[in-house]
A and B are shown apart, each in its own frame.
Chain A
Amino acid sequence: GAGVSQSPRYKVAKRGQDVALRCDPISGHVSLFWYQQALGQGPEFLTYFQNEAQLDKSGLPSDRFFAERPEGSVSTLKIQRTQQEDSAVYLCASSRDRAGEQYFGPGTRLTVT
């Protein structure tokens, strides 16, 4: 079956613009994670959903970052008033259950100019 998909794959935004990044998890996967990977760094946790419930958003760096998963499948990560420090690859991962193996999407590379 299909893996985790993310769109767009690349996004260039001018500083101050809002962006929306989409994640389509593997069908039936309960858990969904977002990670941020800055250049030359390992991924860092942003937020976690179990079905439609956002159970952990402790990694979101500021209130400009917002994530949702309204029907427990597709998720959107929104960044308002983008800043240069938001430039990174945003990775989405899903897993069958709460502690199962995570399957990663290819990521969205965001460049803020």
Chain B
Amino acid sequence: AQSVTQLDSQVPVFEEAPVELRCNYSSSVSVYLFWYVQYPNQGLQLLLKYLSGSTLVKGINGFEAEFNKSQTSFHLRKPSVHISDTAEYFCALSPNAGGTSYGKLTFGQGTILTVHP
């Protein structure tokens, strides 16, 4: 079984400040990792993904995340946030079990990022 834990339910931050949204996961098999963003009344949009290779992954809108296998973490970071980054962010995983696996996603509970002027 797999699980994803987002350690902060809400993160308030001032505009232009750095931010880190924390995500830990648990899985008995190798996984792919994702961060999604959800704006009010909209569907989920993929920010970035880790499939293999470099542990530092860069995504859209200036976000990046680092895969840490030993700590089973995949924290999301942005060096300087904007008001428009206010949204809910979800960390997710899907199993990488070779030819039989497909993209079934397990999500965390979400972190609401609020950027204040």
Bound Cα distance A43, B43 (Å): 11
User: What count of chain B residues pass the 8 Å CB interface test?
Assistant: 24
Is A42 in contact with B107, judged by CB distance below 8 angstroms?
yes
- How many A-B pairs fall under 8 Å by CB? 62
- Do A41 and B109 touch (CB < 8 A)? yes
Q: Report chain B residues within 8 Å CB of A31.
A: 102-103
Instruction: List residues of B (74-117) whose CB comes within 8 Å of A's CBs.
Output: 90, 92, 94, 101-110
How far apart sit A57 and B41, CA to CA, in the bound complex (Å)? 26
A43 close to B46 (CB less than 8 A): no
> Do A91 and B103 have beta carbons less than 8 Å apart?
no
Chain A min CB distance to B20 (Å): 19
A102 in the interface (beta carbon within 8 A): yes
Residues 17-68 of A contacting B (Cβ, < 8 Å): 31, 33, 35, 40-45, 48, 50, 55-56
Q: How far is the CA of A71 from the CA of B110 in the complex (A)?
A: 34
| Cβ B43 vs Cβ A98 within 8 A | no
Assess A98 versus B103: contact at CB under 8 Å? Given A42-B108, A42-B110. yes
Per DSSP, chain B at the interface is strand
Specify which chain B residues have a CB less than 8 angstroms from the CB of A104 in the assembled complex: 36, 43-45
Residues on B with C-beta less than 8 A from A35 are 105, 107
Residue of A nearest to B96 (CB): A99
Q: How far is the CA of A55 from the CA of B102 in the complex (A)?
A: 10
| Distance in angstroms between the alpha carbons of A12 and B57 in the assembled complex | 41
Q: Give the complex CA separation of A110 and B102 in angstroms.
A: 28
* Nearest chain B CB to A90 CB, angstrom units: 11
Q: Are A44 and B41 in contact (CB under 8 A)?
A: no
Q: Is the CB of A43 within 8 A of B105?
A: yes
Interchain residue pairs with CB less than 8 A apart (5): A48-B104, A93-B44, A95-B103, A99-B102, A102-B105
